[in-house]
Chains A and B, each alone.
Chain A
Amino acid sequence: EAQVTQNPRYLITVTGKKLTVTCSQNMNHEYMSWYRQDPGLGLRQIYYSMNVEVTDKGDVPEGYKVSRKEKRNFPLILESPSPNQTSLYFCASSLSPQGGSEQYFGPGTRLTVT
């Protein structure tokens, strides 16, 4: 089944403790991205990747890192999480970055930083 998977689905952590949220797609998609969703602010892009070893900042990259060493994986790294990074995170992928290409989203990771 074609899908985007994220792990973990739920995570409660403490300020400053490094964490990684994994994202994997099995559709051989070139383009992947991370979004966060907050009440009243909607979905905002954190980082995106056009292909392996090509990443760039989205609208809200501060406090996050990403890597794209393999086509299928695009982990989101929080080196020193803070409470304002408490949010619902979605990974997405699409065949290409072009405007006519639909994005497929993962099920989400709910992160709480205390």
Chain B
Amino acid sequence: DAKTTQPNSMESNEEEPVHLPCNHSTISGTDYIHWYRQLPSQGPEYVIHGLTSNVNNRMASLAIAEDRKSSTLILHRATLRDAAVYYCILRDWGGAQKLVFGQGTRLTINP
């Protein structure tokens, strides 16, 4: 499985945008980029995914570099409820049957 690299931790302030980076230099052409987050004492939660183009949904935006070797998860206006561990994961189109979770980025939101 192609690997991803994320900062161990980040900190931001409430109501400010947050940009969470992810490097995936060995990504293959058929790998989707998925983001999940895990709030304290909960199961992982799907956030967003994309293949080549930038994606938006009600939770976040995903900006994918043109060469696809990096991506950024954007929380447009962070709230205290966004404090979680965020995981960037690659998943092969053909059906990588598992999600390979790295250590993720622990996001702290200051009031």
Contacts and interface: CB of A to CB of B under 8 A. Distances in A.
Contact of B44 (A43, A48, A58): A43
Interface stretch (B10-18, B75-83, B94-102): B94-102
B91 interface: yes
Contacts of B41: 108
Contacts of A48: 97-98
Interface stretch (A12-20, A64-72, A73-81, A99-107): A99-107
A59 B98 contact: yes
For chain A, give the interface size range: 20 to 34
| Dominant SS among interface residues on chain A | strand
A56 B95 CA distance: 14
Contacts of B45: 105
A78 B55 CA distance: 41
A33 interface: yes
Given A100-B93, A102-B46, A108-B42, A43 B99 contact: yes
A111 B31 CA distance: 34
B98 A99 contact: no
Given A43-B44, A108-B42, A108-B43, A103 B97 contact: no
A84 interface: no
B49 A102 contact: yes
11 contacts: A48-B97, A92-B43, A96-B95, A98-B95, A99-B30, A99-B91, A99-B92, A99-B95, A100-B91, A103-B44, A108-B42
